[in-house]
């Protein structure tokens, strides 16, 4: 795609800016769709109907109506809040989630930036979200927001380790951090996908998925969002469009981690049927479908499970996921050594 646009426009700066906006053209409609989809899935799991009226067919325009409502709300900033940080925080959170899209390959023909440390970059840049959360909690000038933000930061930081370790197993098997190369290494039928290559990678995929739930603050790890400290956590004082931006950031993050899961373990833009239905556009279709499957599983878990208390959350992160990830790294190392 880069070459195509360069040939068309002959201006590198414009081409790169356009390439940077392509994921946004995906993320924003996706967030609108995902909120609607979550409401419908939760409704049908609970034997009810969900949005049905807004826009006619099954309430498809419900999220658009919600966004319009949020746009016209009064922008309230607490008097004693730190105004600069308060206003900046949602943007930092969004940037942290969105910047990861630069290195995620949507198809063989499109990747924002083909860098050879793609996976490393993705893990590192998504840590920026923590800074945004802390800014939100601190700038709200509300001790409960601060507690919620600190807890959320602790949760995200502790679960970065199992995320990194399980992705490390993928790197050990494929030998590269470059996400496009990882994808190319999984070409073929679905049994060529990394998740089926060895049992350690299978468990690594599960550990990555669970740890990524904590990264995005989804149930069962959503104590920061739910009644953390009896109030709302780090986004208590946010209303209107700022709140909408925080939620857009959350859904962008959800898709980003699903995309990484599908890229690293489940073949990315590769078709499961080998050459049948493959190609640049089909690649984008497969990639998005796999991402949606993981989003569906995240929503499914949200509506099934109760939430963990903070100390139990830390226990699961440090005492269950991390030891297992270490064992996996060692195991994959031995596997690679023996079977290559």
Partner 1 sequence: MGRYFKNIWDGVFTVLIGMKITWRHLFTPAVTIQYPDVKLKLPERARNRLYVNMDDCIGCDQCSMACPVDCITIETIKSTPDVDLGMTSVGTKKRLYVPRFDIDIAKCCYCALCVYPCPTECIKMTDVYEFSEYERTNLIYNYSVMTPAEIDEAKLKLSTYEKEQAAKKAAAPKPAVPVSAGVAARPAPLTGPAPAAGTPQNPEHKP
Partner 2 sequence: MEAAPAIHPATGKGSMTVPGLGRSLKSEEMIINMGPQHPSTHGVLRLELIVDGEVVVDVIPHIGYLHRCFEKHAEHMTNYQQVIPYCDRMDYVAAMNNDLGYAIACEKLLKIKVPDRVEYIRVIMAELQRIASHLIAIGTYGLDIGAFTPFLYCFRDRERILDIFEQTCGARLLYNYIWIGGLSHDIPPTFVEKVKDFCRIFRPNIKELNDLLSYNKIFIERTANVGVLPAEVGINYGASGPILRGSGVAWDLRKNDPYSIYDRFDFEIPTGKGLMGTVGDCWDRYMVRVHEMEQSLNIIEQAVDRIPAGDVQSAVPKRIRPDASEVYVRSETPKGEIGYYIVADGTTSPFRVKVRPPCFVNLSVLPAMSRGAMIADVVAILGSIDIVLGEVDR
Q: Decide whether 59 or 283 has the Cβ nearer to partner 1.
A: 59
* x-marked contacts with partner 1 along 298-327 as a string, rule CB under 8 A: --xx-xxx--------------x-------
- DSSP, collapsed to helix, strand or coil, labels residue 106 as strand
- Taking alpha carbons only, the member of 85, 69, 67, 66 closest to residue 77 is 85
As a whole number of angstroms, the distance between CA 307 and CA 121 comes to 31
Residue 49 CB, shortest distance to partner 1, in Å, is 5
For tokens 């995005």, name the residue.
Answer: 216
Residue 147 CB, shortest distance to partner 2, in Å, is 10
For the chain, strand residue ranges (E) read 105-107, 110-111
As a whole number of angstroms, the distance between CA 195 and CA 294 comes to 14
Distance of CA 327 to the CA centre of its chain: 25
Q: Decide whether 56 or 230 has the Cβ nearer to partner 1.
A: 56
As a whole number of angstroms, the distance between CA 23 and CA 18 comes to 10
DSSP letter at 314? H
- Phi, psi of 189, deg, nearest 5: -80, 180
Whether residue 162 contacts residue 321, with contact meaning beta carbons closer than 8 Å, is answered with: yes
Distance of CA 127 to the CA centre of its chain: 12
Residue 42 CB, shortest distance to partner 1, in Å, is 9
Give the number of other CB atoms < 10 A from CB of residue 190.
Answer: 15
Q: Decide whether 69 or 143 has the Cβ nearer to partner 2.
A: 143
Q: Of the ranges 21-29, 179-187, 220-228, 288-296, which one interacts with partner 2 (CB under 8 A)?
A: 220-228
Q: Of the ranges 53-61, 67-75, 192-200, 226-234, which one interacts with partner 2 (CB under 8 A)?
A: 226-234
Answer for which of 3, 13, 57, 306 binds partner 2 (CB under 8 A) is 306
Residue 213 CB, shortest distance to partner 2, in Å, is 12
Residue 45 CB, shortest distance to partner 2, in Å, is 6
As a whole number of angstroms, the distance between CA 204 and CA 255 comes to 19
* x-marked contacts with partner 1 along 29-68 as a string, rule CB under 8 A: ------------x-xxxxxxx--xx---------------
For partner 1 (CB under 8 A), the number of binding residues is 16
Whether residue 321 contacts residue 207, with contact meaning beta carbons closer than 8 Å, is answered with: yes
Q: Of the ranges 62-70, 71-79, 194-202, 225-233, which one interacts with partner 2 (CB under 8 A)?
A: 225-233
As a whole number of angstroms, the distance between CA 245 and CA 211 comes to 24
226 binds, among partner 1, partner 2, none (CB under 5 to 8 A by kind): partner 2
Range 47-76, binding partner 2 (CB under 8 A): 47-48
Q: Residue 292 interacts with partner 1 (CB under 8 A)? A: no
Residue 295 token pair: 């989003």
For partner 2 (CB under 8 A), the number of binding residues is 23
* x-marked contacts with partner 2 along 266-295 as a string, rule CB under 8 A: ------------------------------
* x-marked contacts with partner 2 along 180-219 as a string, rule CB under 8 A: ---------------------------------------x
Degrees, nearest 5: CA angle 172-177-183:
90
CA 327 to each of CA 175, 256, 321, 331: distance values in angstroms, whole numbers, following the listed order? 19, 26, 10, 6
DSSP letter at 105? E
Whether residue 149 contacts residue 224, with contact meaning beta carbons closer than 8 Å, is answered with: yes
Q: Decide whether 73 or 309 has the Cβ nearer to partner 2.
A: 309
| Site of interaction with partner 2 (CB under 8 A) | 42, 45-48, 219-220, 222-223, 226-227, 229-230, 303-312
| Site of interaction with partner 1 (CB under 8 A) | 41, 43-49, 52-53, 300-301, 303-305, 320
């Amino acid at each position: 795609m880069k070459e195509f646009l360069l040939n068309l426009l002959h201006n590198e700066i414009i081409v790169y800016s356009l390439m940077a906006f392509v994921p946004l053209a995906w993320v924003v409609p996706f967030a609108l769709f995902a909120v609607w989809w979550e409401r419908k899935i939760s409704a049908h799991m609970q034997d009810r109907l969900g949005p049905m009226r807004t826009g006619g067919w099954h309430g498809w325009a419900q999220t658009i109506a919600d966004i319009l409502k949020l746009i016209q709300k009064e922008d309230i900033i607490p008097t004693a809040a730190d105004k600069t940080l308060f206003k900046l925080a949602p943007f930092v959170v969004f940037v942290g989630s969105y910047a990861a899209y630069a290195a995620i390959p949507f198809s063989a023909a499109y990747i924002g930036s083909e860098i050879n440390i793609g996976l490393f970059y993705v893990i590192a840049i998504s840590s920026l979200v923590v800074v945004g959360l802390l800014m939100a909690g601190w700038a709200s000038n509300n001790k409960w927001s601060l507690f919620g933000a600190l807890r959320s930061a602790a949760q995200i930081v502790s679960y970065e380790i199992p995320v990194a370790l399980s992705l490390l197993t993928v790197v050990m098997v494929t030998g590269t951090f470059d996400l496009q190369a990882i994808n190319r290494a999984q070409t073929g039928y679905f049994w060529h996908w990394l998740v089926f290559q060895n049992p350690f990678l299978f468990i690594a995929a599960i550990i990555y998925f669970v740890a990524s739930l904590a990264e995005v603050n989804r149930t069962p790890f959503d104590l920061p969002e739910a009644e953390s400290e009896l109030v709302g956590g780090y986004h208590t004082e946010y209303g209107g469009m700022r709140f909408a931006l925080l939620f857009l950031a959350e859904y962008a993050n959800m898709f980003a981690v699903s995309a990484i899961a599908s890229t690293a373990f489940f073949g990315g833009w590769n078709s499961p049927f080998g050459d049948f239905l493959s190609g640049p556009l089909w690649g984008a279709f497969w990639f998005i479908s796999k991402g949606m499957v993981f989003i569906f599983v995240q929503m499914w878990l949200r509506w099934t499970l109760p939430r963990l208390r903070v100390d139990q959350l830390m226990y699961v992160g440090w005492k269950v996921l991390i030891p297992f990830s270490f064992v996996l790294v060692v195991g994959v190392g031995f596997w690679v050594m023996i079977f290559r």
